[in-house]
Amino acid sequence: MATSRQRQAGHTLLELVIGLAIFITVSTIVTESSIDGWQALAANRARASLVTDLDEATVRVESFVRKATELPAQATVASQRYQAGAGTLILTVPAVTASGQLIAGVVDTVVYTSRAEGFVELIAPGGGTRTSADRLVVPAPATATFSVTAATKPLVTATLSATRPTARTPLTRQTSISTLARNAP
């Protein structure tokens, strides 16, 4: 009678090592792809945030410049004195209520400037019981440069710049507007 060797169920050590090596290789590739994908997603979100912040800031500045009745050289808002210059824009605009109704004979002072927290809008209401307001327009690091060219109507040029950190390289965007202060003398 011939004896045959029965093969035992299971895998040899060599088969297990090869399987483990394949599993580790595939896992590494998938993990690196996922990390790259998440970094790209984070960069896209940072870019979108940056574009949105600067676009909204540009629209706000342009809107107030168009409404400006005066471009004073200095102003005091919340006990802080501001001087108009390359980094600070001061406007006097007609006052409106929260619902957008014009308040006859009352003007607000609007100051745009760069501070440690970013590019800010400060509003000092004239008259009434309204309170001053600070609004962070673009988070830091953000800068603003303003120039006013006197002609028949003042031409205000605003250049806003901001940076957002990302995993790879910082994103920087700059936007500029030139708008006439139509109501200013």
Q: How far apart are CA 140 and CA 134, in angstroms?
A: 15
Name every residue whose Cβ is closer than 8 Å to that of residue 181 and which is 6 or more positions away in sequence.
65, 66, 68, 71, 91, 153, 154, 155, 156
Q: Is residue 43 in some structural domain?
A: yes
Q: Is 136 exposed, middle or buried (0-12, 13-18, 19+ CB in 10 A)?
A: middle
Q: Is residue 21 in some structural domain?
A: no
Tell me the torsion sign for CA atoms 105, 153, 182, 54.
negative
Q: Is residue 60 in some structural domain?
A: yes
DSSP codes of every residue in 71-96: --SEEEETTEEEE-BTTEEEEEEEEE
pLDDT of residue 64: 86
Q: How many domains does the chain have?
A: 1
Q: Is residue 2 in some structural domain?
A: no
pLDDT tens-digit readout, 122-132: 888 876 556 66
168, pLDDT greater than 70:
no
Q: How far apart are CA 92 and CA 82, in angstroms?
A: 13
pLDDT band at 22 (very low <50, low <70, confident <90, very high): very high
Q: Is residue 15 in some structural domain?
A: no
pLDDT band at 156 (very low <50, low <70, confident <90, very high): confident
Q: Is residue 185 in some structural domain?
A: no
pLDDT of residue 3: 54
Q: Give me the domain span that covers residue 149.
A: 38-180
The pTM (predicted TM-score) of the whole model is 0.69
Give the C-alpha distances (Å, rounded to integers) separating 53 from 40, 41, 127, 141, 161: 20, 18, 31, 12, 10
Q: Is residue 175 in some structural domain?
A: yes
Q: What is the mean pLDDT of residues 113-141?
A: 78
Q: What is the mean pLDDT of residues 11-35?
A: 87
Q: Is residue 93 in some structural domain?
A: yes
